[in-house]
Amino acid sequence: MSSKKIEIQLMDEDELSLNLIEAQYFLKNTRGQKNAKSVLVLVNGIELAGKGESVKQLREWVDPRYLKVKADPSIMLDQKQTFWQPYAPFIPAEGQLMVMFGNWYSDLLVTAMHVSKPLDETVFDAYIKDMRAFEQDLKNNHVDVIKVWFDLSWKSLQKRLDNMDPSEVHWHKLHGVDWHDKKPYDNVQKLRRRFTQDWTIIDGEDEELRDQQFAQIILAAMKNCPEHSTQSTAKWKQAAIPELLLHPENQPITKENYKKELKTLSLKVAEALRFDDLKAIVVLEGMDAAGKGGAIKRIVKNLDPREYDIYSIAAPERYEARHPYLWRFWNKLQTDEDITIFDRSWYGRVLVERVEGLTHEAEWQRAYDEINRFEKDLVNSQTVVIKLWLAISKDEQAVRFKAREDTPHKRFKITPEDWRNREKWDDYLSAAADMFERTSTAYAPWYIIANNDKNTARLEVLHAILKQLRVE
């Protein structure tokens, strides 16, 4: 990686403006097409180098209705949320152009500059690595990420500070750094050199050149919308199907023992989920009628509804489908809720979407790594990710389907589609096998729980939660 050097040709302003507007419409019209994408521009740089001016100039050249600008003050990176969480809601949808001033890099810089103990280089570089991986995932999911650093020499910065209108001083002091002091300037330059290798560096010296260069970079990004590759190049190696999925028989338990154990265990689970300093995410997956709903009921038995969120995941809404597929899950984790339960989850990407052909080969094959990174980020942010697969046999499913059909108030749980899905039973088993193989990580392993006997399984679900919370 090396900073891009761009030869700037000054364009006629009206022509540039016209080109930008046409590119905006072109980008907008990719929505729903094979070349659909959005453009996210991350803007950072030296104070007074002209970031703000260039964005204002851009706004005058383009059709302002189709340019979004997000600009909030930087926030310190901490252990309580991932670096992308504050920005997830603002990731642009297909066809959109978004310029983001405050972003994960400004947060990183502010954190590195302001902590009493400077950030360890290893920690700093680990952040950079995670950020780049996140951006690559965005790109793969049709969000083009353009990174622009507005630079300014020490001499020019001093000159601009001296010539600054007094009313402006206040704003520029807001960043809490005295820019007349060479030490923080050098520090910023040193720090940013650790990550700007793959950025476009814009020299803030010449205002006209600067504005044009910024606009032209964005113009180029908007015009470049190739069709997405949909076919995987690598040969797919199907994982072996775990024995437990083929034979999900478990030891039945007497009703009396079940009730007794359930009481103790569910109290223990409530306590563990509640008192832990960590946030907890519980994911339940499994075939239809595998008993996810019943398991959830036992997990929350001794919790108050104010203590948890439950999401039942179905197909995405139309506006959600215009974002990276993980986007709707990023946003469901924005609240302060400490306990979040997913009845089906982001694993739909590699289960139903794969089996039903709703997503291209290249996409679901890429998803395993994306999901692992997503969960890793969460685990690094004081979250325990508990993943449970409830396994039942095909015969047991048929029994439960029929029982549902025979019970009026349970009939809603069963549709012709459920019977149709049964025909793809083996495909789902294969998809599940690949999922275990590729996403059962050390930090977020899968717990496969045989569920032919419901009660035994429910107790095992509780044991698995306690185990992953390190209580058992």
Q: Three-state SS across the chain?
A: CCCECCCCCCCCHHHHHHHHHHHHHHHHCCCCCCCCCEEEEEEEECCCCCHHHHHHHHHHHCCHHHCEEECCCCCCCCCCCCCCCCCHHHCCCCCCEEEECCCHHHHHHHHHHHCCCCCCHHHHHHHHHHHHHHHHHHHHCCEEEEEEEEECCHHHHHHHHHHCCHHHHHHHHCCCCCCCCHHHHHHHHHHHCCCHHHCEEEECCCHHHHHHHHHHHHHHHHHCCCCCCCCCCCCCCCCCCCHHHHCCCCCCCCHHHHHHHHHHHHHHHHHHHHHCCCEEEEEEEECCCCCHHHHHHHHCCCCCHHHEEEEECCCCCCCCCCCCCCHHHHHHCCCCCCEEEEECCHHHHHCHHHHCCCCCHHHHHHHHHHHHHHHHHHHCCCEEEEEEEEECCHHHHHHHHHHHHCCHHHHHHCCHHHHHHHHCHHHHHHHHHHHHHHHCCCCCCEEEEECCCHHHHHHHHHHHHHHHCCCC
The residue (of 165 and 423) whose beta carbon lies closer to a second copy is 165
Is residue 343 a contact residue for a second copy (CB under 8 A)? yes
- Binding segment toward a second copy, per CB under 8 A, in 113-121, 249-257, 264-272, 384-392: 264-272
CB of 81 to a second copy, least distance (A): 16
Amino acid letter, 272: A
> Of residues 32, 33, 72, 129, which one binds a second copy by CB under 8 A?
72
Q: How far apart, in whole angstroms, are the C-alpha atoms of residue 322 and residue 334?
A: 19
> Of residues 123, 239, 310, 471, which one binds a second copy by CB under 8 A?
310
CB of 398 to a second copy, least distance (A): 22
CB of 117 to a second copy, least distance (A): 28
Is residue 417 a contact residue for a second copy (CB under 8 A)? no
> Of residues 9, 233, 409, 423, which one binds a second copy by CB under 8 A?
409
Binding mask 346-385 for a second copy (x = CB under 8 A): ----------------------------------------
Binding mask 171-210 for a second copy (x = CB under 8 A): x---------------------------------------
Q: Pairing mode, if any, of strands 339-343 and 308-312?
A: parallel
Binding mask 94-133 for a second copy (x = CB under 8 A): -------xx-------------------------------
The residue (of 69 and 262) whose beta carbon lies closer to a second copy is 69
Is residue 226 a contact residue for a second copy (CB under 8 A)? no
Q: How far apart, in whole angstroms, are the C-alpha atoms of residue 109 and residue 117?
A: 14
- Binding segment toward a second copy, per CB under 8 A, in 142-150, 198-206, 296-304, 371-379: 296-304
> Of residues 5, 117, 155, 170, which one binds a second copy by CB under 8 A?
170
CB of 307 to a second copy, least distance (A): 7
> Of residues 32, 64, 176, 252, which one binds a second copy by CB under 8 A?
64
Is residue 163 a contact residue for a second copy (CB under 8 A)? no
Is residue 309 a contact residue for a second copy (CB under 8 A)? yes
CB of 297 to a second copy, least distance (A): 7
Is residue 168 a contact residue for a second copy (CB under 8 A)? yes
Is residue 25 a contact residue for a second copy (CB under 8 A)? yes
Q: Which residues bind a second copy (CB under 8 A)?
A: 14-15, 17-18, 21, 25, 52, 55-56, 59-61, 63-65, 69, 71-73, 101-102, 165, 167-168, 170-171, 267, 270-271, 274-275, 293, 297, 300, 302, 304-307, 309-310, 312, 314, 317-319, 335-337, 343, 407-409, 412-413
